[in-house]
Each structure stands twice: as C-alpha cells, then as structure tokens.
Amino acid sequence: MSANVPPVLPEVKLERVVRLARADSVGVIVCAGFSLLVSVPAENWVFAGFSALALVCGAMEFFGQDRLRAGDFGGLQWLVGAQACLYTVILGYVLWRWQHFDAATYWAEIPTAAQDKLKAQMTEAGLDPVADRDLLLRSMNSLVGSVLLGVSTLYQVGLAWWYRAQREDIAAALAENPSTRERSVD
C-alpha cells in the first residue's frame, strides 16, 4: 500500500512547516504573554523575566515563519534557533526553581482548602504534616521540573530536528517559484 503513495511535494512540506511554525509561535506568544501579565502585577520579577524571554522566543519563531512565507530561506534558521532559545529559557527556569525553591513561601501560596486536603492525605499516609511538608513540597517541585524538562526536551528538540529535516524540501520549494510564495502559503 505504501508503494503506491506518491512522495509529498516540497511545496506541501513548506506549507506544513509554515503552518506549524505559526501555530507554535502564536501558542508560545500567548502563553508567555499571559504569564508576563500575571507575574508583573504579582511582582514576581524572576518569573516575569523568564516569561519575557519566552515571549522573545515566540517572536523569533513567528519572524522565522514570516520570512519563509516571504520566500526567504533564512527563516528556517530562525525557526530552529527559536526552539533552541526556548529550550534554554525553560532549562534556566527549571534550574532556577530547583536552586531557589522555598517550601514555606510555596505553602503560603496554596489555598487553605488544598492545604487542609494535603495535611489529611499526609496524615493518612503516616507522615507528619508539619515535619514532612518541606520534603513533600520539594519532591513535588523536583517532579514538576523534571516533567517540564522531559516534555520540553522531546518537544523543542524534536521540533528543531523536524524543521531542520525539511531543509532540502524547503530550499527546493523556494527555488521552484519564489515569486508566488506569499500567495500560496497561507
């Protein structure tokens, strides 16, 4: 069955890259922008800084897809670079959280109902809700950071690799008809 399937045209691959890059960049811009809008009024300057850096990464990817849409092959480097940049920002954030985690501050930010539920669950598990709380919160922080790094590694590295793997087809599509790129890739 797969022998009868024609190969995907370079032009179609270019369209896929541009569409995916646009969706990904807009998603990053929206999430990072929202995080920035939430963290600035809360005066969480470290999170605001990481959010601003992630916003720049989303803008880099958006710029890259816009360059590809305009027929500029250099836009592909912007797409790959944006993934590397965003991965670095996420890695920096996770490392900062691991290094500067304050269990007491985190506990104070948890709503009272959730605190009560956690205390009850800790008691049920045979843990002391006061003495073991820091260990539990640090473990949760480590787990969340590890999951975030794992997912980011798969996604950012995978997407950068996929963008790079499309290099030859993008070059071929842009060489075939560079003057019609803006009209056909929407």
Q: For 166, how many CA atoms within 13 A lie in the half-sphere containing its CB?
A: 28
pLDDT tens digit string along 121-169?
A: 999 999 999 999 999 999 999 999 999 999 999 999 999 999 999 999 9
Q: In whole angstroms, what is the distance from residue 116 CA to residue 50 CA? A: 31
Is the four-CA dihedral 67, 73, 76, 81 of positive or negative sign?
Answer: negative
pLDDT band at 90 (very low <50, low <70, confident <90, very high): very high
Terminal-to-terminal C-alpha distance of the chain: 31
The one-letter code for the residue type at 167 is R
pLDDT band at 179 (very low <50, low <70, confident <90, very high): low
Model confidence, pTM: 0.86
**Cβ(87)–Cβ(154) below 8 Å:** no
Of 48, 59, 47, 46, whose CA–CA distance to 86 is shortest?
59
pLDDT tens digit string along 17-44?
A: 999 999 999 999 999 999 999 999 999 9
The pLDDT of residue 180 = 46
